[in-house]
Chain A
């Protein structure tokens, strides 16, 4: 309080710097989304081993190694895209964005493959038992977020290929990259809960 006396704020001399509203808004959204995921995770853990009939996670789930590696490394590529755009290197940014979209798509494909296996070969659906209910809703909720992220990233990729993205947009791309990092971080939790603890 006494400090304000010593340094009077004058409009001309001191720059008035406030946080970027896009970043703040995205952090708020992430907080809200994290709470949604938390509830689904709690439901998953609460219903572990409470299914009245099979199949159980240990019988049917395999570790999704390839998908996990792809999704986690896509965090690095999206970070590279933001860094490149800050340096006004649009070509490198497009390249990194393309890699992110490709890696994210591979992850989605592995999830789709797993679901196909569970539904058509094992016969586990959301209606089968509590494991099916919680598994499909938690993994499905995450996959929905991956799809939304991929759509947004693809849109940016198209813009940058069309030459509409410049270094001015680095802040905005950073907002999107924050979301993508969040989706990846959630996957670590889902991976641990569903495939490590849950099996």
Chain B
């Protein structure tokens, strides 16, 4: 792709920055308040936990690959699925998305840092210590007599299993406190993102010129306030129950186990949208650049995102159809859940319309984006199936549900994240990621993904419940579980290639230059990696695509606004 450096020099004339070598670097990273360094720390931290939680997933799939297997003990298996879920949501997905947000938002709006840099560092370290605390449970979970163990109550930790009577020792306390810490850190970062987007924009960047990525992060952050706080409140209640002997979720004193379910899912379901909105944001940036067209329907995209944000706050109890909420409750939540698919559909069609008629360039970021579009569609369709209460009564807590939400999280969120890695890696490190390795990664991951999660629906339909430790032969589940296991291994290999590519390209990758993709948002107007102060001069936005205007003075976007 052509890069027009002359246009870029109009904005920025900064030279490459050099870092002082030696032990000072460690101190510099530990004490930094720079949004780019904090963003990178978030991302690296999340990748470490991704590998850990990925290994846990592998161990579970090996255990389930053949019937009557005893590869791990039942106790270990319970800990594995609890730690896998908790880690993936709270210490992989949230930090990696906030890492990208931290890195990109100030750059995209032409600011020098986030609104509250020290709050930013504080939030990061809180989340980081939350993850460390969770894994300390392996060494100290059951108290001081040596034999520690991790929490085993499942990632949504239903009451009354979490009460002191049924979960003695400290393993559940580790879970509660780690999630509480992560929640406070998440809220801090969300405050920061909203304040940054509203108060730090460069001259001319009105709200209707703000990059869609920033818009979607803002919507997701606003959701964090009303969604993560209920979880924090519920964790405080659980702590009070376990430490001070209160009775919030103590059924023997009249407390309600269903109340915990409500509180958890008031967080739990919108959380999925908090995760998916930033990944929509990546697709919003990547698809136009690789289709060589401006995004189709910018205002509709913003409206749809806000719509998703609002509607998703009233769908939580579709996780609880089997509890018995009565016809009125069921009908409401069925309807609300189905309504979410409307704004999501608008987004889907807008992306297709952006690609339509464009000169599509199939580099690795675009490959992953196309994978995202296809798989997220299927994930959404099984979601609509499950939103119907009678269907859900049959399949709740079966492998069909597991397959559905992994389709969303792996097929949607992970694919879009991989696209974001390949797309912004040049900006973050100054070097391109290797294209051949990237294609190997993509195709292996696609094959592995579909082997695992397409075929995982079938044992669900055949009645295999989730979280079972092992199963009898002759129920028709063996073949499917074996294929699922093979797919998991293929995905594991693909992920290893990805990690190798990350490290390899950091040292051997091709020099990227400031704007390797010929893109249009402001982060590409500064050097790769950007200097500490981001922009030597404050940029001015003349339209939603400020760099396009600079590169094409005779055909400015601003003349169409």
Contact = CB atoms under 8 A, between A and B. Distances in A.
Interface of A: 1, 4-5, 9, 11, 16, 18-21, 24-25, 28-29, 31-36, 38-40, 43, 46-47, 50-52, 126-127, 129-130, 132-134, 136-137, 141
Contact of A21 (B199, B203, B240): B199
Interface stretch (B189-197, B321-329, B346-354, B524-532): B189-197
Contacts of B229: 32-36, 39
16 contacts: A4-B558, A18-B198, A24-B194, A28-B194, A29-B191, A32-B224, A32-B228, A36-B232, A43-B248, A46-B256, A126-B245, A129-B253, A133-B246, A133-B248, A134-B248, A137-B240
Contacts of A36: 229-230, 232-233, 236
Contacts of B55: none
Nearest to B186: A32
B158 interface: no
B115 interface: yes
Given A19-B199, A137-B237, 4 more contacts: A11-B203, A24-B115, A32-B224, A36-B232
In the complex, the 5 A-B pairs of residues with the closest C-beta atoms, listed nearest first: A35-B229, A39-B233, A21-B199, A133-B246, A31-B225
A18 B201 contact: yes
A18 B200 contact: yes
Contacts of B222: 28, 31
Given A11-B540, A24-B195, A28-B194, A35 B244 contact: no
Contacts of A21: 115-116, 195-196, 198-200
B561 interface: yes
Contacts of B206: 4
Contacts of B234: 39
B259 A24 contact: no
Interface in B252-284: 253-256, 259, 263, 266
B204 interface: yes
B172 interface: no
B181 to A, nearest CB: 15
A52 B253 contact: yes
A11 B539 CA distance: 10
Given A25-B195, A36-B229, A40-B233, A9 B247 contact: no
Contact of A133 (B116, B194, B247, B263): B247
A54 to B, nearest CB: 13
Contact of B246 (A19, A33, A127): A127
B423 to A, nearest CB: 28
B226 interface: yes
Contacts of A34: 229
A5 B558 CA distance: 8
Contacts of B142: none
B240 A133 contact: yes
A126 B246 contact: yes
Contacts of B236: 36, 137, 141
B187 interface: yes
